[in-house]
Structure 1
Amino acid sequence: MRNFTLALFVALPLAAILAAGTAFWPVSAQEAQGDAPVTLPLSGDEVLLPYVIPEAGPFNPEQIEIENNQAIADWFRSAHADAAAEAFRHWDDEEGIRPVCAVCHSGAGFRAFHGLDGSPPGIPEESVDVGGVVDCETCHNQGLSRITEIRMPSGVMHPVQGVEASCMTCHQGRTAGVTVVEAVAGLAEDGPNPDLRFINPHYATAAATWLGGYGGAGYQYEGRDYSGRFFHARPVASCVSCHQPHTLEVATDGCRTCHENGTPEEIRLARQSYDGSGNTTQGIRVDIANNAATLMSFVERYAAEVVGVPIYYDGGRYPYFFADANGDGVADTADGNPVVYASWTPRLLRASYNWKLVTADPGAYAHNPHYALELLYDSIEDLAGALGVEMASLGLLR
C-alpha cells in the first residue's frame, strides 16, 4: 500500500474563497491516493477544500510550543531541579526520605507538611519516596495562598504571602539560639560536658539570617541588642525581589540604583572597617569572612588552651567538629572513623554555633550583614575574655 495523506473535504461558498484571494480546486480521495482523477459533482457555487490531518508523532521538542517553556527550562537548570545533588540523593541507600527531612528535600514532603495534598498539616507520618526535587507544585500550588504565617525554629510566627511560604519553610534552618540556650542551661561556662553535642543550624539559612534578631536564629548574648529583619531598600520586600524564582540567580540590575558598584559581593554598606584591616574599599562580604576566620581561630585556641582538647573542623563530614588530641591539624580516628569532638563547654558551643550559622549562609553579606557582624563580634568577644585577649587589640567593630 502506498503512503498517502488523508484528505477530508469541506464545502465553502465560492464567493468566500475568492474574497480571501486564495485559489483552491476540488480534490478527491482517489486523487489523494494517486489514482486517476474522479470528477465530483458540485452544486451551486461550492467547491471542495482539502483538510489534511497532521501526521502522527513523535515530534521534535522544538516543534512543540509549551506554555511557560522558558520558566520550565530555567527551573530545570537550577539547583532546585538537580536530582543528582546531595540534597536529594542523601537518602538513596535508605530507599526513603525521613519525614522531617522530606519537608524540604522533596516536593511531596513539602505539600504533606502544609496539608496541600489533602492530608492533615504536619510532619509526614511515613518516609517519602526518594527522587523528588523542589518541583513546580512546591511554589505554584494554589493552596499556598491559604498559608499566612510560618513558624521559625525560634518559635517566632512570621507572616508570609504566597510563595514566601515556600522560601521561609525551607531556608530557616533547623535550630535557633534558643536551642543552644536550652542545651547549656545551668552548666559551668568553661566546664567540658560529655552530654553536650554540636548543634547544627543546618544549611542555606538565608531566611533565618534575613530576619535577624527578630527571628532569633543566632545565639544572642545577654545584654546585647541585635539588628532585626534587614529591609534593605524599599523595593526589596521578599526573596523574589532579588532572586529570579526559577533560575535562582540574583537580579543585580536594581543594585545600581543606590550603589556605585552593582556587584553584590563588592557592595559596602558603611565607610568603616569591621575586621580591623582599615580597608573600606572592599565589599562588606570580606569583613564578614575575615571576622568569621578570626572567630574560628579563637574557637581552635579556646579548645586547645582552655578545654585542653584541640578541635578540628571538617566541613565535608557531619558533625563537622572532631577531636585532634595531638594538634596536628588532622582528626583523630578510631576504628577507621574520625573521633567526634565531645569536650564541649557552653562557651565553646555558643561561639561555634554562631560561626556555623553565619558561614552556612553564603549570602549573609546581602541578607543581613549587620546581624552577621554582630553575632561574630559577640562570639569573638566571649572567647577573647576566656583567653585573656583584649578586644581593643583586634581593632574590630560591632
Structure 2
Amino acid sequence: MRGKFITVSSVLALLFACFLTGTPSAEAQDSSAPSGEEAITPFLLPDAGPFEPKSLGEQNTAAITAWLKGGHADATAEAFTHWDDEGAVPPNCSVCHAGAGFRSFHGLDGSEPGLPEAPIPAGGVVDCETCHNDGLASISELTLPSGVVHPVVGVEAACMTCHQGRAAGVTVENATASKPDDTVDAELRFVNPHYATAAASWLGGYGGAGYHYPGKTYSGRFFHARPVASCVSCHNPHSLEVKVETCATCHDAETPEAIRIRKQSYDGSGNLSVGIRSDIAANAQLLMETLVTYTGEVAGTALVFEPHYPYFFADANGDGVADQVDGSSVNYAAWTPRSLKAAYNWKLVTADPGIYAHNPHYALELLYDSIEDLAGATDSVDFDSLNILR
C-alpha cells in the first residue's frame, strides 16, 4: 500500500469479494492491476486467525465499512507511514502503531507480555484483531505513564493502551526537580505527552497526565452521566465518529462542540452563547501568549510553536518567527523549569482535540494554573486583569 493511494470504494470491492472466496491469489490480484502498473495488495485484515476475511460473513459488512472510513484503518496516515523508509516500526512505537505490536505487547499472540523483541514490519494498522482478540478480556489493568494502575474491562484495554500518552506530570517533576524555577538549564528538554491523549484527559487528575502545581487540586476522571461510561458510549467503535444522538439525550445543542457545561465565562470574554470548547481554546491561546512573554522576558530567548517535532523553536529577536539555520528552525534550548511545566500542560491539552468533551474541567484547571504561574514571574502580565476562571 505504501506509495499508492487506494479509494475506499476499491478497497470495499476487494474486501467484499473476500467474504466468499478468501484472500485473492497473487494471480487474481495481478490480473486486476491497471495496465502498466504493479498490482496493489492493500492491508485489509490479518491473513490468519479468527478474523480472516472469508470467516467474517456478509453480516459484518457495515462494521467493516465503518472501520475503513475511520482513522484506525487509514494506512496512508502519518501514524502508520512514519516508518516506511525504515521498513519496520520500533518495538516501543509498534504497540500502538501496528496491530501486531499491540498483540505482542499484551501477549495476545502467544508471546510473553511486554514490548516486542524485534521491530514490527511497517504497513500495519489498527486491525480487527486489535480490538476483537478473545484474549483482550483477560487484561484487567493498565499501568499509566504516571505510575497509576488503572482497571480496565473489555475493549477499554485497547482504547486506553494507546490513548494514555507517553509521559505524565511526574515525568516533568523528575526533569525539573531541585532546579531553580526561573534559571535557564541546558539539560532541560521539552517533554512531549504524545498525541491523541483522550484517555489521559478523561482520567484527569486521578490519572496524573498533567503537571499538577503544588497546593492545587484537580478534577479526577470525568464520569459524565449515564449511559456514558466508556469510550464506545460516545464513539462508534469502528468509524470512531461521535454518537451525536447520545449527546442529545441531555444537551440541547446542535453539535457536541456547541455544548456548554456551565453558565459562566472561563476565558473572560463573557460570551455564554458558545460551547465550552471555545473557552478552552481561548485559554490555551492565552497560555501560549503568556509563555512567549515569559520566555522573552525571563529566559532571554522567546519561543515559538510550529506543528512538527520538537514543536518549540527559538525566536531570539522576538519577531514571532523561528530562527533559521541552513533552512531549518532552531530548536528551543532556553528552558527553565517554569516554562517547561507550562509548555507541557499546553501541549497535553491541545493534543486532545476532544478534551472539551473528555474532561473540560481538567483542561481549564491545567490552563489556568499554568497561566497564573507564568504571569507571576513576569513584569508585563497582570494576571488579575485577565478575568479568567478556573
Q: TM-score when scaled to structure 2? A: 0.85
Partner residue in 1 for 2:311: 320
Matches of 1:392 and 1:126 in 2, distance apart?
54
271, 274, 278: which one aligns with 1:279: 271
Matched, 1:380 2:381: no
Evaluate the alpha carbon distance shift between residue 138 and residue 281 of structure 1 in structure 2; reply closer, same or farther with a 3 A threshold. same
Please state how far the C-alpha of 1:281 moved relative to its aligned partner. Answer: 1.3
175, 189, 201: which one aligns with 1:183: 175
329, 334, 340: which one aligns with 1:338: 329
Question: Structure 1: which 5+ residue stretches go unaligned?
Answer: 1-57
Contact kept, 8 Å, 1:175 with 1:201, in 2: the verdict is: yes
Please state how far the C-alpha of 1:63 moved relative to its aligned partner. Answer: 9.8
Per-residue deviation, residues 116-137 of structure 1 (Å, max 9, x unmatched): 0011101111110000000000
Partner residue in 2 for 1:20: none
Contact kept, 8 Å, 1:274 with 1:287, in 2: the verdict is: yes
Q: Report SS of the residue matched to 1:322.
A: strand
Residue correspondence of structure 1 range 201-216 to structure 2 within 5 A: 201-216=193-208
Partner residue in 2 for 1:119: 111
Residue correspondence of structure 1 range 97-112 to structure 2 within 5 A: 97-112=89-104
Please state how far the C-alpha of 1:174 moved relative to its aligned partner. Answer: 0.2
Matched, 1:161 2:153: yes
Please state how far the C-alpha of 1:331 moved relative to its aligned partner. Answer: 1.5
339, 348, 351: which one aligns with 1:348: 339
Matches of 2:172 and 2:276 in 1, distance apart?
28
Partner residue in 1 for 2:349: 358
Evaluate the alpha carbon distance shift between residue 67 and residue 321 of structure 1 in structure 2; reply closer, same or farther with a 3 A threshold. same
Please state how far the C-alpha of 1:305 moved relative to its aligned partner. Answer: 1.0
Residue correspondence of structure 1 range 30-179 to structure 2 within 5 A: 61=17, 66-179=58-171
Q: Which moved more, 1:278-287 or 1:61-70?
A: 61-70
Q: Report SS of the residue matched to 1:304.
A: helix
Alignment size in residue pairs: 340
Evaluate the alpha carbon distance shift between residue 365 and residue 125 of structure 1 in structure 2; reply closer, same or farther with a 3 A threshold. same
Evaluate the alpha carbon distance shift between residue 62 and residue 346 of structure 1 in structure 2; reply closer, same or farther with a 3 A threshold. closer
Partner residue in 2 for 1:38: none
Matched, 1:293 2:269: no
Please state how far the C-alpha of 1:67 moved relative to its aligned partner. Answer: 3.3
261, 265, 278: which one aligns with 1:269: 261
Per-residue deviation, residues 64-84 of structure 1 (Å, max 9, x unmatched): 662311111110111100001
Partner residue in 2 for 1:254: 246
Letter of the 1:361 partner, please give it: D
Please state how far the C-alpha of 1:328 moved relative to its aligned partner. Answer: 2.2
Question: Structure 2: which 5+ residue stretches go unaligned?
Answer: 1-13, 21-56
Per-residue deviation, residues 95-120 of structure 1 (Å, max 9, x unmatched): 11011000000000000000000111
Please state how far the C-alpha of 1:330 moved relative to its aligned partner. Answer: 2.0
% identity of equivalent residues: 65
Letter of the 1:384 partner, please give it: A
Contact kept, 8 Å, 1:323 with 1:342, in 2: the verdict is: yes
Matched, 1:307 2:319: no
Partner residue in 2 for 1:329: 320
Residue correspondence of structure 1 range 224-243 to structure 2 within 5 A: 224-243=216-235
Partner residue in 2 for 1:8: none
Partner residue in 1 for 2:362: 371
Contact kept, 8 Å, 1:107 with 1:137, in 2: the verdict is: yes
